[in-house]
A and B are shown apart, each in its own frame.
Chain A
Amino acid sequence: MKVLAAMSGGVDSAVAAARAVEAGHEVVGVHLALSRNSGTLRTGSRGCCTIEDSMDAQRAANILGIPYYVWDFSEKFKTDVVDDFIAEYQAGRTPNPCMRCNERIKFAALLEKALALGFDAVCTGHYASLLTDEFGNLELHRSNEMAKDQSYVLGVLTAEQLKHSMFPLGATASKNDIRREANERGLSVANKPDSYDICFIPEGDTQDWLSEKVGKAPGQIIDREGNVLGDHQGTHEFTVGQRKGLSIGRPAADGKPRYVLEISPKTNTVIVGPQAALAINEMVGTRYTWCGNAPTETNNWSEILVQVRAHGDAIEAEFKLDSGEMRIRVKQPLLGVAPGQTAVLYLGTRVLGQTTIDRTVSAVPVSTGSEV
């Protein structure tokens, strides 16, 4: 196969490319330029797309003996990932930019370009496994290394995208094995620190970064009964489930800390309440996709596992489609789930599909019974 290895300059994508070469594929390394104002050097685990990252990717490609190119996706990345991230926060939601990047850049714009230019597949260093069922259908599964499993952020992939994807690290036992393998292969990135945080927020402080982008928009902090408790400097500074940074003078009647329950950009208010009120028992989304073949039964409640954040646990739940919406009911109330997050559905280790959460249903209704 003719394989395009997306190479970030990190150790995972370098080893993934190496394995693709070793498997006998014709591999070409491509580094995606995603940032307009690239820094020169990387500092620790933060930042991304520095010239150093590009040089590291190129050096790895040299050592593997494969051609290497830099392709500019910075404009699309800005509109589809960065601007989307800002808009989602402004709309009171909590987005996952890595997911958007996979959905719109790596396995969309990049994959489409790769296919048009004659490639058969895109190979990345994600920790996830592509398996084939008894009928030859592709399925996406969790990686063997649960601590590094990244199947969640790949939950947006469709059957068509899976056909052209390659995740050579899925069967890896541990990240240490990858580093050892990189070292044995003479790859200089063997000991490069892992990336954390959001790549386009180099300082790591999302709230500061957002404030710089969207400015201040003071409003009120209220409780579920509508009592005004304090002021805020912009709803983008808050996410559902947040406890810190709420400048509310008076303690709650019960003396317990209060949490952000809901963000209402329309009224520019942040609604807070006790931790118990964060509990939800249902999530609903209209933007859902199936990862591989769609399940045959979608009209009645079916047992699944659901995961709502990249490093969260999968918990027992059931789902069904109802008037164009995917409804997911959790068996035990779940705390702090924000609209904008992605709910990924699993059947055991298999990724079944996902939906962006549009709204949640509180497990603890207030007297008015309104949805939170």
Chain B
Amino acid sequence: MAIYLDHAATTPLRPQVIEGYLAQLQVLGNPSSVHSQGQKARQVVEDARDQVAKAVDCHRSEVLFTSGGTESNNLAIKGLFLDAVKRDPQRKVLLTAGTEHHAGIDPVEWLEQSEGAQVVWLPVNDYGVVDLATLSEYLDEHGRSVALISLMWVNNETGLITPIAEITRLAAKHEVPVHSDAVAAFGHVPVSFKQSGLATMAVSGHKFGAPVGTGALIVARDAKLAITSHGGGQERGIRSGTLSAPLALALGASAALAVAELEQVSSRLEVLAQKLKNSILGIAPDAIFTRGEHEGFAGIVHFTFPGCSGDSLLFLLDSAGVSVSTGSACRAGVAQASHVLVAMGRTEDQARGSLRISLGYTTTEQDVDAFIAAFPNAYAGAKKAGLPSK
């Protein structure tokens, strides 16, 4: 059995939700139907909505069920921007950072190319930390021309936490809505939508133990989104399409479980991550822990290894039965240096030496020990293989 240390890509389905999910799959009824069978299905969806609302700390009507993080990010970024421009054509600027996930960057680039958005890429330092002073100055000078700020809560590659509350505080002075991709955050670090000051927030189910294909977009009651996906008008009209009672049920139950055990799991992961980091630095003293001393989610351990190619490390670890990642799993098929690391000022060669070891709620000390046992050989081999550009 392979050792799984790629929880940031996807984490195991929570065993406690499987039975209910499978049972609900066999129950007939469209949650939007008026008859009793429909109402029963609706009740399952609304129970799940309550669970999600409690878990993310928001009002139940602020929870919109979606298919996952990418859809949620698209609906929010496009919806917020297009509505802002419609209300005030002067507000054309979209502030974001190059370290966002592609699900955050690509909608922004689409708005730039197709809808006249003026994108300002906020500077980040070597650790990926967004320069809040620049943001503050920009807002003071051009606040009235800003339509939207979009910044992720936890970086999916490096684990770095962005201080969302500070950003929304700056934005509020200029009445600028803020969206956050919280896919790598929710279920892993404390998240309170109510206290965040966000307009919208994207959540993905399979990152905390719900099935792939589940997710939520949290939309503040006063946030205004243009409709970008049209249909039957479900989910406040923002996310049309037949609701899935079994998927909602699994999402709600998993969200509740993830939040209930968050504190206990985080402290366990912190110890395991520290052990992992110490062992890696013992074997590869020139390795660089990517987010440095900055606050981050303990479960994401991201290093760059000078003179090594991440895909060599990944191959050798995989051959030894250990599953890790070189970065985001989404660009599989086209190997490229991580855009996140490049945005952080790393050279392509440095970025190529990336390895992300990500821990989750099922990770045990045995998993970490298995990595530590396999790592020395993998590192030696990858070092020998070097970089293709040399």
A residues contacting B by CB (< 8 A) are 28, 33, 36, 38, 51, 54-55, 58, 67, 69-76, 79, 109, 112-113, 116-118
Q: Is B289's CB within 8 Å of the partner chain A?
A: no
Q: Is B126's CB within 8 Å of the partner chain A?
A: no
Contact B348 A75 (CB under 8 A): yes
**Which residues of A have CB within 8 Å of B385?**
112-113, 116-117
Q: Is B79's CB within 8 Å of the partner chain A?
A: no
Taken residue by residue from 113 to 129, chain B's Cβ proximity to chain A (1 for < 8 Å, 0 otherwise) reads as 00000000000000000
- Report A305 CB to chain B, min CB distance, Å: 35
Partner of B311, one of A28, A72, A74: A72
Contact A73 B388 (CB under 8 A): yes
**Which residues of A have CB within 8 Å of B334?**
33, 38, 51, 54, 70
- Write the chain A residue with the least CB distance to B310: A72
- Write the chain A residue with the least CB distance to B349: A75
The 5 closest A-B CB pairs, nearest first, are A72-B335, A116-B385, A54-B333, A33-B335, A116-B384
Which residues of chain B from 80 to 96 have any CB-CB distance to chain A below 8 Å in the complex? none
Can you list 14 A-B contacts with CB-CB less than 8 angstroms, sorted by A residue number? A33-B335, A54-B333, A55-B333, A58-B333, A70-B335, A71-B309, A71-B335, A72-B337, A73-B388, A74-B336, A113-B388, A116-B312, A116-B386, A117-B382
Most buried by A among B318, B335, B336, B352: B335
- Alpha-carbon distance A54/B335, docked complex (angstroms): 10
- Alpha-carbon distance A213/B180, docked complex (angstroms): 41
Contact A117 B389 (CB under 8 A): no
- Write the chain A residue with the least CB distance to B334: A38
**Which residues of A have CB within 8 Å of B384?**
116
- Write the chain B residue with the least CB distance to A32: B335
- Report A92 CB to chain B, min CB distance, Å: 28
Which residues of chain B from 291 to 327 have any CB-CB distance to chain A below 8 Å in the complex? 309, 311-312, 314-316, 318-319
B residues contacting A by CB (< 8 A) are 309, 311-312, 314-316, 318-319, 332-337, 348, 352, 381-382, 384-386, 388-389
- Alpha-carbon distance A67/B316, docked complex (angstroms): 12
- Report A328 CB to chain B, min CB distance, Å: 34
Most buried by A among B334, B336, B385, B386: B334
Q: Do A51 and B337 contact each other (CB < 8 Å), given the known contacts A72-B352, A118-B381?
A: no
- Alpha-carbon distance A71/B310, docked complex (angstroms): 10
Most buried by B among A36, A58, A72, A74: A72
Contact A71 B333 (CB under 8 A): no
- Alpha-carbon distance A58/B335, docked complex (angstroms): 13
- Write the chain B residue with the least CB distance to A70: B335
Q: Do A75 and B388 contact each other (CB < 8 Å), given the known contacts A33-B335, A38-B334, A118-B381?
A: yes
- Report A258 CB to chain B, min CB distance, Å: 44
Q: Count the A-B residue pairs with Cβ separation under 8 angstroms: how many? A: 63
Contact B332 A116 (CB under 8 A): no
- Report A9 CB to chain B, min CB distance, Å: 10
Q: Do A117 and B315 contact each other (CB < 8 Å), given the known contacts A54-B333, A72-B352?
A: yes
**Which residues of A have CB within 8 Å of B348?**
75
Contact A76 B335 (CB under 8 A): no
Most buried by B among A54, A75, A112: A75
Contact A117 B352 (CB under 8 A): no
- Alpha-carbon distance A36/B381, docked complex (angstroms): 26
Beyond the given A70-B335, A73-B388, A113-B386, please list 16 additional residue pairs across the A-B interface where CB-CB is below 8 A.
A67-B318, A67-B319, A69-B315, A70-B311, A72-B309, A72-B337, A72-B352, A75-B348, A75-B388, A76-B388, A76-B389, A109-B388, A113-B385, A117-B312, A118-B316, A118-B381
**Which residues of B have CB within 8 Å of A72?**
309, 311, 335-337, 352, 388
- Alpha-carbon distance A67/B318, docked complex (angstroms): 10
**Which residues of B have CB within 8 Å of A76?**
388-389
**Which residues of B have CB within 8 Å of A112?**
385
- Alpha-carbon distance A75/B319, docked complex (angstroms): 26
- Report B323 CB to chain A, min CB distance, Å: 12
**Which residues of B have CB within 8 Å of A71?**
309, 311, 335, 388
**Which residues of A have CB within 8 Å of B382?**
117
Partner of B312, one of A54, A55, A73, A113: A113
**Which residues of B have CB within 8 Å of A113?**
309, 312, 385-386, 388
Contact B316 A117 (CB under 8 A): yes
Contact B311 A69 (CB under 8 A): yes
- Alpha-carbon distance A79/B388, docked complex (angstroms): 11
- Alpha-carbon distance A70/B334, docked complex (angstroms): 7
- Report A13 CB to chain B, min CB distance, Å: 16
- Alpha-carbon distance A73/B336, docked complex (angstroms): 9
- Write the chain A residue with the least CB distance to B337: A72
**Which residues of B have CB within 8 Å of A67?**
318-319
**Which residues of A have CB within 8 Å of B309?**
71-72, 113
- Alpha-carbon distance A334/B133, docked complex (angstroms): 71
**Which residues of A have CB within 8 Å of B352?**
72
Contact B388 A116 (CB under 8 A): no
Contact B389 A75 (CB under 8 A): yes
Contact B388 A70 (CB under 8 A): no
- Report B327 CB to chain A, min CB distance, Å: 12
**Which residues of A have CB within 8 Å of B336?**
33, 36, 72, 74
- Alpha-carbon distance A112/B385, docked complex (angstroms): 7
**Which residues of A have CB within 8 Å of B316?**
117-118
- Write the chain B residue with the least CB distance to A57: B333
- Alpha-carbon distance A228/B348, docked complex (angstroms): 48
- Alpha-carbon distance A208/B337, docked complex (angstroms): 30
**Which residues of A have CB within 8 Å of B388?**
71-73, 75-76, 109, 113
- Alpha-carbon distance A74/B388, docked complex (angstroms): 9
Contact B335 A51 (CB under 8 A): no
- Alpha-carbon distance A67/B389, docked complex (angstroms): 25
- Alpha-carbon distance A117/B382, docked complex (angstroms): 7
- Report A82 CB to chain B, min CB distance, Å: 14
Contact B332 A70 (CB under 8 A): yes
- Alpha-carbon distance A341/B312, docked complex (angstroms): 35
**Which residues of A have CB within 8 Å of B311?**
69-72
Q: Do A79 and B389 contact each other (CB < 8 Å), given the known contacts A72-B337, A116-B381, A117-B381?
A: yes
Q: Do A70 and B333 contact each other (CB < 8 Å), given the known contacts A117-B312, A117-B381?
A: yes
Most buried by A among B333, B352, B382, B384: B333
- Alpha-carbon distance A117/B383, docked complex (angstroms): 10
**Which residues of A have CB within 8 Å of B312?**
113, 116-117
**Which residues of A have CB within 8 Å of B314?**
69
- Alpha-carbon distance A67/B319, docked complex (angstroms): 9
- Report A101 CB to chain B, min CB distance, Å: 13
**Which residues of B have CB within 8 Å of A69?**
311, 314-315
- Report A156 CB to chain B, min CB distance, Å: 18
**Which residues of A have CB within 8 Å of B337?**
72
